[in-house]
Structure 1
C-alpha cells in the first residue's frame, strides 16, 4: 500500500527548503503511475502541466506551498473538462473556474486534475476502486478524491457532500474527510443537486492536514494547538444504530474508550426527537431541490440518465411544495435542537458509516449516518485508525457545533491521537 502524503508535513518541508514543489509533484506522479491504472481516481489529469506548474517561482512562500490538489469533477474548472460523471457533459469546458478552485490557485495550490465523481454526485457507482482493497467500494460520490488521497496520489483533494459523500468514502478508504460548516466554502461553480445541502469538503491523510489546507484556502485561523487539550465528547448512536454493523459498533466503542483513557470527558446522550426528525426531513429537502436542480436534464435528456438517477428523479417530481416547506421547518427545528444539545460539548461522536466498505461495486454504501448532519450544516470529521473484522478501515465521526469548525477539528485530532495510542 502506498503511503499517504501529509499536506502539513510536506508544506513545512517545502518552506524549510528540504523539498521543492517540484519534488512533491514528482512524488504524486510516481504514485499515480504506480496505482492509477487499477484505482481509477482521476477523470482527467495532465502530468506535464503539473510538472510545469510546480516550477513557478515563489510557491514555497504561499499558503499552500505549491501542493497538488485534486478537484472533484462536479466543480467547474477552465483547464480541465468538467464532465460531472455524465455523458451529457462529455468534453464540457466551462468559461470560469468555481470559486473554491480560484481560492486554491490564489493560495498556491496546483490544480493537479479532476477526480472521479459519481453521476451528478448521486449514487450510481463510479469506475473508481478502493485502494485499500480493489474488490470493495470506495464509497460515493467523492470516490475519486478519497481514493486519490488513500493511494498517496495527492496530499489534498476536494469533494462535496449532499448526503454522506465526504464522510462515507473517507471511512471506506481510511482517510480523513472533513465536511465544514455549511457555506464555509463557497459553492459557486458547483453543479447543484440540493442547494440547501450541497457542501464542499476536503480529504487528507490526517486531521492536521485538512485543518492546514482549510486554513490556507480560507485564510481563517485553524491553529489546533490553541484549542483545549481535553475535549468534552457527547456520544450518540441515533435511532438508526441498528443499521450499523457489529464492527461499526465496536469501532465507536473502542474510540470512546480511547478518548476516556486519554483524559477526555465523555457522556452518552440521546438525540432529541426534533433532531432525529431531521433525518426524514433531509430526504424530502433533497428530493424537492433535486427535481429542480436537475430540471433541464430531466425534461430534455432523461433517456441519458442512469436507471438509478432516472428512478430517483421520477419519484422526486412528486414532492410537493407543502411537503418541502414542512421539511424546511423541521430542518430549522433540528438545527436548533442540535445547538442546544451540543452547547456543553466540543463534539459528538457517532458512526461514520454502517461498517466496512461493501464488497463489490454495485453500491456506494449508505449515507444513513451522515445526512442528518449535512442537513444541520454541522462540521463533521471522519477520524481514522480503526478497522473491521476483515481489516478494512472503519471511521468514527466527530460532529461539531455549527460554525465551531476549529473546535470540532481539534476534538477530532485529539481522538485521532488517542486511537493511535490505544
Structure 2
C-alpha cells in the first residue's frame, strides 16, 4: 500500500475512534490507561530490544552522545513511562467540565463546556518515551492520536505504539485511537501536515528544522512547541553558594532537553567572584565554556563566543556565558535571543526578582530555581505533550486540559429570534 493510502486509512480510523472517545466515560479511559501501563511492564524486554537496535543504528550514523542519551531507554525509563500513564489516569477528567452557565436574551440558558480537540497529529524527534506520554494524554482528553516519531527511534516507537494500541483495544477503545506512522519517508510527515479532513490539530515537538518544515508546509492548524534557548541571569545580589548548584543543575543534569540552560548572563559586579568558581565546577562536569571577552579575561579556559552562540540551542554540554552591566541589559539580551521557553534570575533582591518576573516574556519565568523544572509532570499535569511557546490556546507545559477545546451548549424552551 502506498504512503498516501496508508495515511488516509489511518486518518479515517482515527476520526471514527475520536467520535467514540468524545463520549467515553472517565472509567473507560482510565481502565485503558492502566492496562496500557501494565502492558509496558509486561513487554519491557521487547521494548528494550527494539531500543537497542535504534541505539546501535544511531551510533553508526554518528549521533552525538547527547542525542544517544535522549534516545536511550532502560528499565527505569520504561517503568517511568508506565507510571506516567498511571499518573495521567489519576488526573481529573477535563472532558465535560462546565466552565460557566448563564441566562442570555429571551431566557436562553447558555453554557460553556470542555470537549476534546478530536484527532491530534504529533510529530516528534528522538525521545521514544514521548510515544507513551502523547498516547496517554490524548486518550485521557478524549482525543485520537496519529504519532509521527523520528526515524532514529523507529524500532522503539513501533514497539511502544503497538503495545499501547493493543492494550487500549483490550479495554474497549477502538482501533485507530492510537496509531503510528511507520514509514521513515519524509513525504509521510509532509502529508500528515496537510490532512485537514482527518486531523484537527498538529503538535510538532522537535528542533528548528521541524519547526520550519511545519511553518512552510502545514495546512492543519498547529500548536508550536518551542525550542529552548533558556537563560539564567546571575544578579549582583545572588547568593553564590545557592547559585552554583542551580546553574550546574540547569546545564548538566540533562543537557539534551529543551529546558536546559544554554546561556548564562552574569552581572559585572558579581562576575569576578562568581565566574571563576562557577565555570570551574561546570568544566569539571565536562561543560565547554564559550564566553565574551570579559568572561575570557576572568576564565582562561573559556573559548571566545561568536554572535551565533547567543542564539544557539546546543542540547549538549556547551554553555555560552556573557557579563552584563545590569538587569536591564540582561533582560534586553533575553528579549533579543530567547525563544520564550524558560528563563531564570538568581537574586536576593525582591525588587529585581519582581522586575524580572514582570519584564520577561516567556512561558515559564523562575526566581532562584533551575529552568529544568519546566515540565508537565513537575507542574502537576502527570505528563506533557510538549511546552508551547506560543500564546494562543496553550502556553507552557501542555497537559490534558490543554488538549481540549470548548463548545457552547444552549437550553431553550421554544424561543425564536425576531
Same fold (TM over 0.5): no
Bigger Rg over Cα = 2
TM-score (norm 2): 0.29
